[in-house]
Amino acid sequence: MTTSTDHAADRPITLSAPSGIDRSAHHRLDEAWLAAAWSHPTTRVFVVSGGQALVDDTPDGRTELVMTPSFEAPPTETHRYFLGTDQEGVRYFALQKDSLPGRMDQSARPAGLREAGVLLSERDAGLLVHAVALENWQRLHRFCSRCGQRTVIAAAGHIRRCPACGAEHYPRTDPAVIMLVKDEQDRALLGRQVHWPEGRFSTLAGFVEPGESIEQAVVREVAEEAGVTVGEVDYVASQPWPFPSSLMLGFMARATSSRIQVDGEEIHEARWFSREDLRAAIESGEVLPPSGISIAARLIELWYGGPLPRG
C-alpha cells in the first residue's frame, strides 16, 4: 500500500482538520485539576444530547457552538466530559443531558454534525465530534461486558469502570474503509445503497472484519458489493465518523476487472463513470453526489480533479 499526498483537491476533510485543541489526556485522572478547570472563569461549556448541540448564526455569517461559562451551565456531576484546552488556555467541557436547554433569545437552534459539521469552525467541529462520540459510547455501554453490572464514569468521561469486577472499558472506534475504485480507463465506480433515494451515488464502503487488514477489507468489500476485483490500494486520509462510533479510512483503489455484479443486499446499483459522464449526470439531476461532510465527496473530487459541479 502507498500513501497519497494530494489530499482531495487541497481542501481539508470535514471533521478531520486540526482543531487547535490539546486534548490534555494527562489531566483526565486528576480530579483536583479538573475541579479547578471547571471553576475557572474562562472555561467554556456546551450541552450535547442525542448527537446534537445548540448552534447560533452570527451577524457576519458564521455558525458557532453555543457555549457558556461553567457557572451558567446546567447542573450535572456525572456526565461531564473534559474535551481539552486551546492555545489561550481556555478549557472546554461537554455536558450530556437528556435534552438541550432552551435559549431565552430564541436565536439558537439544535443541530447535529451532519448539518453543522460543514458550517462550524475547525475548533467547534472538533469539539462537537469529540463530544458526540463520547455521548454515543456512554449511552450504549452503561453495563459491564464482563459481569453485567452497571459501570461508573471515570477519567472525565473517557473510561467506564465496573465497581463489581474492576474491569475498565474504553470508548470503541470501529474502523471502516471507504474507497474510490478506478478502472484501466480511469473511470470511477460509484454505487447506490438499497435504502438511498433514486439517483444517490457514492463510493463503496464497509467495516473492517476481525483479523483483517485494511487493505484486505478494501479488496473484500469491493468484491462483495460490486463483484469487481481490486489490485493496488492507496491510502488517502481518514475521518472520524461518530454515527455512532466509526473511523472512516479513505482509499483510492485500482480495479483489475470491470464487470459489475452487485450483491443486491447492500448495493442496489453500481456504475462506472467517466468525468464527463459524472459531470453531465450531476448537472442534469440524474445523479445526486454525496454530501460535503463525507470523506466520500473528497475522494470523488480527488479523482475528478476539483469540486464537483452543482446539480
Give residue-wise pLDDT tens across range 114-170: 999 999 999 999 999 999 999 999 999 999 999 999 999 999 999 999 999 999 999
pLDDT higher than 70, residue 2: no
Domains observed in the chain: 25-169 (3.90.79.20), 174-304 (3.90.79.10)
SS3 295: helix
pLDDT at position 102 is: 75
pLDDT higher than 70, residue 103: no
| 252-267: burial string, b at 16+ Cβ within 10 Å, e else | bbebeeeebebeeebb
Q: Which of the two residues, 107 and 135, has the higher pLDDT score?
A: 135
pLDDT at position 76 is: 75
Q: Are 139 and 49 in contact (CB under 8 A)?
A: no
**Any idea which residue has 447506490 for its cell?**
192
Q: What is the DSSP letter of 185?
A: T
Per-residue pLDDT tens digits for 263-292: 999 999 999 999 999 999 999 999 999 988
Q: Are 132 and 139 in contact (CB under 8 A)?
A: no
Q: Which three cell numbers stand for residue 108?
A: 439558537
pLDDT higher than 90, residue 35: yes
Distance CA 26, CA 23 (A): 9
pLDDT at position 310 is: 83
Distance CA 307, CA 44 (A): 36
Q: ∠ CA 192-196-200 to the nearest 5 degrees?
A: 55
Per-residue pLDDT tens digits for 171-212: 999 999 999 999 999 999 999 999 999 999 999 999 999 999
Per-residue pLDDT tens digits for 223-278: 999 999 999 999 999 999 999 999 999 999 999 999 999 999 999 999 999 999 99
pLDDT at position 77 is: 66
Confidence of residue 4 (pLDDT cuts 50, 70, 90): very low
Name the E strands within the chain. 2-3, 44-48, 52-57, 63-65, 68-69, 80-85, 91-96, 109-112, 152-154, 159-161, 168-169, 174-182, 188-193, 204-207, 230-241, 246-255, 267-273
Q: Which three cell numbers stand for residue 2?
A: 502507498
